[in-house]
Amino acid sequence: MIPFTYARAANTADAVVHGSAVGTKYIGGGTNLVDLMREGIEHPQALVDVSGLSRDINETADGGLLIGAGVKNTALAEHRLVRTRFPVLSRAIVAGASGQIRNMATVGGNLLQRTRCTYFYDDTGARCNKREPGQGCDAVDGFNRIHAILGASPACVATHPSDMCVALAALDAVVHLEGAGGKRTLPFNELHRLPEGRPDIETLLEPGELITAVELPAQPMAAHSTYRKVRDRASYAFALVSVAAALEVDGGMIRDVRLALGGVAHKPWRAWKAEEVLRGQPASQQLFQAAAEAELANATPLRDNGFKIELAKRTIIAVLGDLSGVSA
């Protein structure tokens, strides 16, 4: 690890002042950043510790939640209102990482964690446009079983690793930011970018901008929601495919739905097309199949990951079946 300076931010304003300096990164729990620094993938000159800031979860006036960016993953998953009003979020969090890491990792850091693409992590010979823009991508023609089937580009086929973020994509979360230019908010689904020609630019954050909170708008339907993760082992593994869903069914009709996929794209993938197929229709296996087909219609397999297309469809159908009570 190359040398760096360390400072603990006294408050958000203090963090933003220090965080705006070139070569500076914010550190939360460090569970991803410390590893990346040790591997030589990240090499900040200065760290500003924001793990002590924004540790509260507060109910908003409309019945939603304002979650401080410094809230630990465990604290969010166990929160009474998250478990009852937004169970998909609790389920997604406890599907990720290990107990120890969930005790360290923060909400803000979870949003900004980097891909686990093995070529991104290997700076001893592998080419990676995310690590070194313009270098090329060894994953496109390499071992790409874990890589993207939606929204990828010739420059990058990496996936976003977070489970929590898949739930946030389904819940229409709003990200609160603070930077040198002041405060602003961004819809969660606009925070992360697709790779296109610049996979090294992963979010729409301005340099030095800090995530201060994530807001969940009130969403009665979210009380009836869940998260399903498919992976290579039963616990402590990244998703091959995951599905976050909330459903409102009334007299057999799907009044409304929120659906998002993980493990399939460079960003948490909101399944807008599937939602459109489902909304206002009578719940049935055929409908769920049609919705899954619509969402995956543009999926593109690489050498090793074609199985993800069928797996994503089946997982969508299974989750919708569970939530609606309409099974095969």
Partner 1 sequence: MAIRINGTDVQAPSDPRVSLLDLLREELHLTGTKKGCNQGACGACTVLVDGERVVSCLALAVQYEGREITTVEGLSENGALHPLQEAFVEHDGFQCGYCTPGQICSAIGMAGEAKRGVPSHVTEDLSAETITLTHDELRERMSGNLCRCGAYNGIVAAITETFVEAGE
* Interface with partner 1, residue 34, by CB under 8 A: yes
Cβ 122 to partner 1, closest distance in Å?
14
Which position among 13, 22, 234, 297 is part of the footprint of partner 1 (CB under 8 A)?
Answer: 234
Cβ 63 to partner 1, closest distance in Å?
17
Cβ 10 to partner 1, closest distance in Å?
13
Taking the alpha carbons at both ends of the chain, their separation in whole angstroms is 54
Stretch that binds partner 1, among 9-17, 175-183, 233-241, 263-271 (CB under 8 A): 233-241
Which position among 11, 38, 206, 255 is part of the footprint of partner 1 (CB under 8 A)?
Answer: 38
Cβ 194 to partner 1, closest distance in Å?
28
* Interface with partner 1, residue 11, by CB under 8 A: no
Look at the alpha carbons of 145, 139, 150, 298 in this order and tell me if their dihedral is positive or negative.
negative
The continuous run of DSSP H or E covering 111 comes out as helix 107-111
C-alpha separations of 104 from 11, 32, 75, 111, 165 in Å? 20, 10, 10, 14, 17
Stretch that binds partner 1, among 73-81, 175-183, 275-283, 284-292 (CB under 8 A): 73-81
* Three-class DSSP category at 49: strand
Residue 161 to residue 238: CA distance in whole angstroms: 7
Cβ 43 to partner 1, closest distance in Å?
12
Cβ 108 to partner 1, closest distance in Å?
15
Residue placing its CB nearer to partner 1 in the complex, 95 or 149? 95
- Both tokens of 204, joined, read 């729409």
Residue placing its CB nearer to partner 1 in the complex, 49 or 196? 49
Residue 261 to residue 163: CA distance in whole angstroms: 9
* Interface with partner 1, residue 45, by CB under 8 A: no
* Interface with partner 1, residue 20, by CB under 8 A: no
> What single-letter DSSP state applies at residue 106?
B
C-alpha separations of 141 from 118, 132, 303 in Å? 13, 18, 7
Residue placing its CB nearer to partner 1 in the complex, 245 or 291? 245
Which position among 12, 31, 129, 159 is part of the footprint of partner 1 (CB under 8 A)?
Answer: 31
* Interface with partner 1, residue 81, by CB under 8 A: no
* Interface with partner 1, residue 94, by CB under 8 A: yes
Listing DSSP states for 111-170 in one string gives HTPPP--HHHH-TTT---TTTSTTS--SSTTS--TTS-SSS-BTTB------SHHHHHHH
* Interface with partner 1, residue 61, by CB under 8 A: no
Residue placing its CB nearer to partner 1 in the complex, 13 or 234? 234
Subset of 236-255 contacting partner 1 (CB under 8 A) = 236
* Interface with partner 1, residue 222, by CB under 8 A: no
- Count CA atoms closer than 13 A to 196's CA, side-chain side: 7
* Interface with partner 1, residue 18, by CB under 8 A: no
Residue placing its CB nearer to partner 1 in the complex, 233 or 250? 233
Look at the alpha carbons of 206, 208, 212, 214 in this order and tell me if their dihedral is positive or negative.
positive
Size of the site for partner 1 (CB under 8 A): 36
C-alpha separations of 165 from 111, 160, 220, 325 in Å? 6, 9, 20, 26
* Three-class DSSP category at 210: strand
Determine phi and psi for 140, rounding to 5 degrees.
-55, -40
- Both tokens of 189, joined, read 């689904």
List of residues contacting partner 1 (CB under 8 A)? 1, 3-6, 8, 27, 29-31, 34-35, 38, 47, 49, 51, 74, 77-78, 83-84, 87, 90-91, 94-95, 97-101, 103-104, 234-236
